[in-house]
A and B are shown apart, each in its own frame.
Chain A
Amino acid sequence: MTPVLDLQNLSVDLPLGGFLSRARLTILQDVNLTVARGESVALVGESGSGKTTLARAVMGLQGMSGGEIRLDGQPVAGKAGLARLRRDATMMFQDATASLSPRLTVGYLVTEPFRIHRQPLPDPDRMARDLLATVGLPAAIARRYPHELSGGQARRVGVARALALRPRLVIADEPTAGLDVSVQAEVLNLMADLRRDMGLAYLIITHNLALVRHVADRVAVLYLGRVVEEGPTAEVFAAPAHPYTASLIAAEPKPDPRRRRADLAIKGEVPSVLRRPSGCEFHTRCGLVQDICRQNAPDLHPTTTGRLARCHFADQNQEQGDHHALEH
C-alpha cells in the first residue's frame, strides 16, 4: 500500500550568511521517512536536531536543497502540488495560541480552510459548531478571540481547524508543549479518538518521550539533522539500538521518587552544526565510544531485528537492552 507521506532523501541547508559567501549549513541530511495510512509516527530529537525544520519543509514553508516529498505516491511539485498537500495534510503548531490570527473569532478561524481552498461552505456558523463539537468544545467558543482561550482550548481549536477539510495527515509539532498534565491527557485522548474515527495519520514532532510512548506506532530519532534510529516504538523503548536513543530515554525524569536516577544520563550539549564532529557525530557525548567511532561514520543500517540504526555497535546495544529488559 502506498504510504500517505513518503520523504525521500529530504535535505535542507541554509546560507551561512556573510558577504558573497556561498557556504551553506546543513540542517537536514538525506532523511527518509514514511507515514502509512492511519499510522502515527513520532520524530524525536533535541532542539537543534532539525525536527521543526523537517515539519516546515514538508508543509512547503521551508525550501529544500534536495530530495522529494510524495503524497499518496505522487511527488509534490509546483503550485498545484503544494495546494493539494496543504489540503490533504495540515499542521498543528507548537504554540497553539500564537498560531491563531489574533483579530479573528474562533468561528471564522476554524472555517477558514474552506474559504482558502474555495470549498462550499453553505452555513459557516453550523460548520464552526460541528467542528468545535468534534474536539469537545462548546459552540459559544466560536464567538471568542484567541487571547480569550486557555492553553487547552486553543490547542483544541487548532485541532478543529486542522480537521476542517478532513485531511489524511496531521503534522503535530509538540502537541502537548506548555500544557498541564491533566490537559495533556485530554489532548492525547482526543488525538487517539480522531485517529480511530477519521483514519488520520500523524507525524508527531516532539521531545516528550511519554507522548511518543502513548501515541506513536513508530519512532524516528533525529540527531544533528540525520535519523540515527528508527523502528516500532515499543521495541525501540525496550531495547534502543543507538546510544543516543538510550540516553534520551534515561534522561527523562521519572515521576517516582523511589526510582531516582543515580548518574547523569548524558553529558555535554548538542554540538553546533557549524562544527560537526568527525566520524560518528554522536561520539563526543557517547558513553560507549570506541576508536572506530571517532574516525568512521556509521551508515543507517538494518539491525538483526529489522530496525534501522546509525551505530557501529547497534546489534550489541540492542541485545544488551533486551537482556536489561529481561532482568526487570
Chain B
Amino acid sequence: MSAPLSVENLSVVYRVAGGILQAVRDVSLSVQRGEVLGIMGESGCGKSTLAAAMINLLPVGAEIRQGGVRINGTDMLKLPPAAQRALRGQSVAMVFQDPMTAFNPVLTIGRQLADFAGAHDPARATPDRLVAMLARVGIPNPARFLDRYPHELSGGMRQRVAIAAALLMQPDVLIADEPTTALDVTMEAQIIHLLRDLRTSFDGAIVIVTHHLGVIAELCDRVAVMYAGEVVEEGTVDAIFHAALHPYTRALLACDPAVVDPSSGRLPTIAGRIPDLTALPPGCAFLTRCTMALPACHNPPPRVLLAEGRSVLCHRVQP
C-alpha cells in the first residue's frame, strides 16, 4: 500500500523582482498512516511553501519547477483542477496558524461546518455528526457551540474548530502549518495534546510545520529539518534531538533559550544569515555559517542515507 502522502523531488520557485527565488529545492519526503512528521526550520527555510505545495495551494508568483506530490499514490499536481479540489478537504486537509482567517465571520460555526462537509458529502453534514466531531476535539457543550460565531471564540477554541473541520471528511493527511504559534502556552499545550490524541484515534498521516522546537519534540515521530529550501537532515525525533549530525541542526538545537541553562550566561547563536535564495552558492548553503566546514563543502553536499528515513545532506557524514 502506498503512503498517504509522499513528496518526490519537489522544487518550488517564486518569481520576484530580483530574479528567481528558490524556496523549495529537490525535497523528497513521505509520511505513513498513524505517523506525525515534523517539518522544522527557521524563517526563509521554505517550510510553509512546502506545506502549501502539499495541497497545491501556492500563492501567486510561485511555480512548481519539478517533482510530484502523491496522495495515496496519485500525483495531485497532474490532476485537473476539479479533481484537485475534490482531493483537498476529502483526502488532504490543512490547518493554518491563524484560524480566524479560515472562517467566514458572518456565519455560525455550525453553518460553516455543515456547508463544508455538505459540499463534499451531504451525509456527513448532519448535526449529530458535527456535534460528535466537536466533542472529539474537546469542545465543551458542542451542541450549543454550533450557534456561535467565530469572533465569539478564543484562539484556542477556533483552532479546535479548525481541526474539527479538517477532520470531518476523515482525510488521509492532515497538514498543520504553525498550529500553535498564535496561542498562549496553556492553549498550546492543549492543542498539542489534542493532536497527540488524534494521532492514535485518526487513521491518517499528520504533518506539523513549525519553527518551535518544543512543539516538534512533544508531538512528532519523525522530523525533517529544512535550511535554505532543502531538507538537510531527516530522522526520528529522538535521533534529531539526541544524535543530530548536520551542523545546522546541532547549532539550532543548541541556541534554543528553552534548552540552555540560564546560569550559563550568554546564549549560543548561529553567526551570519541565510544565503540569498535568488543567488545560491554552488556548494553547501550552510557553508558560510558552519563552524566545521571542509574544503569539499564548496561542492554540492551529498545526501547520505544512513537508514530508512534517516538521511543527512553533509560532506562530513560518512555512510
Contact = CB atoms under 8 A, between A and B. Distances in A.
B140 to A, nearest CB: 8
Contacts of A250: 189
Nearest to B189: A251
B97 to A, nearest CB: 11
A184 B257 contact: yes
Contacts of B104: none
B121 interface: no
Interface string A174-185: 001000111111
Interface in B185-215: 185-190, 192-193, 211-215
A96 to B, nearest CB: 14
A255 B43 contact: no
Interface stretch (A79-87, A205-213, A302-310): A205-213
Given A181-B252, A189-B266, A251 B186 contact: yes
A225 B90 CA distance: 44
A113 B87 CA distance: 56
Given A182-B251, A260-B217, A255 B259 contact: yes
Interface in B15-32: none
A254 B218 CA distance: 7
B288 to A, nearest CB: 14
A270 B187 CA distance: 10
Contacts of A252: 185, 189, 214, 258
A14 interface: no
Interface residues of A, number: 42
B262 A253 contact: no
Contact of B211 (A176, A180, A234, A260): A180
B102 interface: no
B193 A264 contact: yes
Contact of A254 (B211, B217, B260): B217
B156 interface: yes
Nearest to B181: A178
B276 interface: no
Residue of B216, B252, B257, B270 with most partner-chain A CB within 10 A: B257
Given A46-B186, A257-B241, A182 B266 contact: no
A47 B187 CA distance: 10
A214 B217 contact: no
B185 A255 contact: no
Contacts of B268: 185
Contact of A253 (B218, B257, B260, B269): B218
B275 interface: no
Contact of A189 (B184, B237, B253, B267): B267
Nearest to A153: B273
A261 B196 CA distance: 11
A256 B215 CA distance: 10
Nearest to A45: B184
Contacts of B258: 210, 252-255
B269 A185 contact: yes
Given A192-B266, A214-B260, A260-B217, A253 B188 contact: yes
A145 B119 CA distance: 46
Contacts of A209: 185
Contact of A264 (B190, B241, B262): B190
A264 B184 contact: no
B115 interface: no
A266 interface: yes
Interface in A255-298: 255-258, 260-261, 264-267, 269-270
Contacts of A258: 238, 241-242
Contacts of B190: 264, 266-267
Interface of B: 42-43, 154-157, 184-190, 192-193, 211-218, 220, 237-238, 241-242, 251-253, 255-260, 262, 265-270
Interface of A: 46-47, 150-151, 176, 180-186, 188-189, 192, 207-211, 213-214, 234, 247-248, 250-258, 260-261, 264-267, 269-270
